Structure 1
């Protein structure tokens, strides 16, 4: 009976490719959950302050600093390396497109390795400075942390090829784990304030759903369908092309900057504090730096994904054109103008959604942990929306697989 059911799913059912990918992603998530529960030091010495900004930020990258485990660093170093190479490629996309996938992966992994050692040493130094672990075997702990990160990066890369949504399921699981382990103290706020916060969260989720589902469309003339006057062709762009990936990358980059600044200060100045408070979410300077980083990285990542230069070349090659816009350079300028409008709107909207609650924690410190919880919940649902969109894409592929195979 069970054998017939498996055969029905994998050999006869319409969406067999989707189910194979989902099962592979479940295997990746299982390995991640297993590894994140393997502590590399004694649990007694790794209890820290609950609900700190650093723990929440790390959890949004697939990491966990509640205890030192194999996957403590998460995907942070890899995501930071990705955005660095994306920004470099944005300056010269033609050169980047000529590079093979193996060359890009090699460079990304080298930078990931360097960033992993930097962030790993910073985290271990935090544990040592707070007397949560001994100074013995620091090098071994660092090697284990970096090895675990590289393993997690490999798992995410395999999930891109054979699973669903790349690193997002790992981050999704990490955030759920962080939300479950959060302990709320007595809430010093009246019922009206709590209801208002709940309504704001619901409104925010509707806004995120809106910018994910709505497309910016611009009609153009297709020379192949010029005789069909009733047929309209249009170029469609998502309002926020970067999606939830921009949030993960911005948090990763902010944490990496935090680690580098504090680590360099410790090396140069022996009497430097264990951590600069102005570079945390508990300071207006730290929050401002983060939201500016989020907005800029989201914009440039969106521009990189839209790739208007390549679209202008495709328009020129196919003979398609916009009304009252000449082909070639004028079309490229027209596309750049539209892309700037779309990308700035999406990046500013997402930045406001994340930034306003962070500033609210400065005005209402008693609700800091609850607001952090709401932010994580918003990010969790946003990632869930992106995963759902990926699943929908595979559903379309499976539905028209027989037709598409003729042209593959």
Structure 2
């Protein structure tokens, strides 16, 4: 405890770090305040039905990423999701389109152009989603609209405000990245998720308290399970396989370059949270299509599978999709050929492996082997909320027992701690852990160019 207090004092004594933390807190506070400002033309007292709809299916996923703004019909109802969608689309284009591949290799100037394309695409994506959101409210929740507010005026003002709101949230994220402690977009998503935790915890406590002494014992077991699940999640996020790389010794003048062993840290979960998000989106499609069908009774059995996340068949299909998407997304984001070529250009080689194609095959084989257990564990994490809800746990609290919520929170918190620790170590202070460094994040020195 004494070391922790001393670390907090060190953090506060560094003016630059203190200003960055305060800036981050201020910007996230602005974001949370804006998430409670209701759109003009909507009666805030009539949003109960929208809130219930916003807690289920694909809308529940949007509502989670928007920090509850979707269900409150706020000016930040679309949150940061349109920017995330645009970023993923541009990221995929850098793999498939030569022009974007060239931009990616141009360094800082190329990165600025890619960011500009991402912002422009965000405007179009947000405009489309804003119009769809307006149509959704008018069709399903017309009672929430103020009667004397003109329909055309509502469409125009709501579309403009939602687009402006998303662009403002995107600006907040970029400012947190530049002026704050970094990872602005991720911090905004994490803050929205964490905002739901106190209420979910209180609901679970209230439910267990009404069950008497046996309920408190169940709650203690749930907290213990939550701690162990979080530990397992940290291991998944931080887990790496270090591939040794030697660099040829070069002597230029009186100085020696290279001749040292470094490591390429290959992550066990290189795909991050994307496989779970993709799998959830796919699982929502059948229920959405059947919901528009003329006769839902004819497919009631099919509906039960894809609309009940506690159903065994739902969890089996969901787990398989997570495993498939883990390999798919890892293959998109991880390029062993480019890595091998970069090593060859820098006179690096893996001991016992020939440079070039043999190195690429070796790195690809290692990545396939470590992705398998990572994919299975990620699938298990993905179905945990459904398993937890099946044990009579409160649904809101069960969503934190794995899945997207916990994975994002753990990943972002670890990244944020690593950013703060880097600032401390750079100024010759002790790190935030007793060992002086957060393990598994930046403990290894990757090869040049990665």
Q: 1:236 aligns with which of 246, 250, 265?
A: 265
Structure 2-normalised TM-score? 0.69
Q: How does 1:346-361 map to 2 (within 5 A)?
A: 346-361=374-389
Q: For residue 46 of structure 1, what is the aligned residue in structure 2? A: 47
Q: 1:133 aligns with which of 144, 149, 161?
A: 144
Q: 1:387 aligns with which of 394, 416, 423?
A: 416
The more displaced of 192-201 and 143-152 is 192-201
- Does the C-alpha gap of structure 1 residues 287 and 69 become closer, same or farther in structure 2, counting only changes over 3 Å? farther
Q: For residue 360 of structure 2, what is the aligned residue in structure 1? A: 332
- Does the C-alpha gap of structure 1 residues 171 and 262 become closer, same or farther in structure 2, counting only changes over 3 Å? same
Q: 2:343 aligns with which of 297, 304, 315?
A: 315
Q: Do residues 211 (structure 1) and 239 (structure 2) align?
A: no
CA distance in 2, matches of 1:252, 1:68: 25
Q: 1:66 aligns with which of 66, 71, 77?
A: 71
Q: 1:170 aligns with which of 188, 193, 216?
A: 188
Q: Do residues 369 (structure 1) and 396 (structure 2) align?
A: yes
Q: For residue 32 of structure 1, what is the aligned residue in structure 2? A: 31
Q: For residue 405 of structure 1, what is the aligned residue in structure 2? A: none
Deviations 1:239-288 (CA, angstroms, capped at 9, x unpaired): 32454xx25x854895699599959986xx79999xx8876564757766
Q: Which runs of 5+ in 2 are unaligned?
A: 1-8, 298-302, 430-450
Q: 1:142 aligns with which of 151, 159, 162?
A: 159
Secondary structure of the corresponding residue to residue 218 of structure 1: strand
The alignment covers a number of residue pairs equal to 380
CA distance in 1, matches of 2:315, 2:38: 31
- 8 Å CA contact 2:67, 2:196 repeated in 1: no
| Structure showing greater relative contact order (alpha-carbon pairs closer than 8 Å, 6 or more residues apart) | 1
CA distance in 2, matches of 1:210, 1:369: 25
- 8 Å CA contact 1:172, 1:380 repeated in 2: yes
- Does the C-alpha gap of structure 1 residues 115 and 38 become closer, same or farther in structure 2, counting only changes over 3 Å? same
- Does the C-alpha gap of structure 1 residues 356 and 261 become closer, same or farther in structure 2, counting only changes over 3 Å? closer
Q: How does 1:285-300 map to 2 (within 5 A)?
A: 294-295=322-323, 298-299=326-327
- Does the C-alpha gap of structure 1 residues 155 and 278 become closer, same or farther in structure 2, counting only changes over 3 Å? farther
CA distance in 2, matches of 1:257, 1:112: 25
- Does the C-alpha gap of structure 1 residues 76 and 281 become closer, same or farther in structure 2, counting only changes over 3 Å? farther
Q: For residue 404 of structure 1, what is the aligned residue in structure 2? A: none
- 8 Å CA contact 1:118, 1:260 repeated in 2: no
CA distance in 2, matches of 1:201, 1:377: 10
Q: For residue 130 of structure 2, what is the aligned residue in structure 1? A: 120
CA distance in 2, matches of 1:260, 1:24: 43
Q: For residue 3 of structure 1, what is the aligned residue in structure 2? A: none
Q: Do residues 186 (structure 1) and 190 (structure 2) align?
A: no
Deviations 1:103-127 (CA, angstroms, capped at 9, x unpaired): 3223323433343234334444443
Structure 1-normalised TM-score? 0.75
Following TM superposition, by how much is the alpha carbon of 1:316 offset from its aligned partner in structure 2, in angstroms? 0.5
Deviations 1:160-182 (CA, angstroms, capped at 9, x unpaired): 23322221221122112222344
Q: For residue 93 of structure 2, what is the aligned residue in structure 1? A: 88
Deviations 1:137-194 (CA, angstroms, capped at 9, x unpaired): 1332122112211211122123223322221221122112222344626359754654
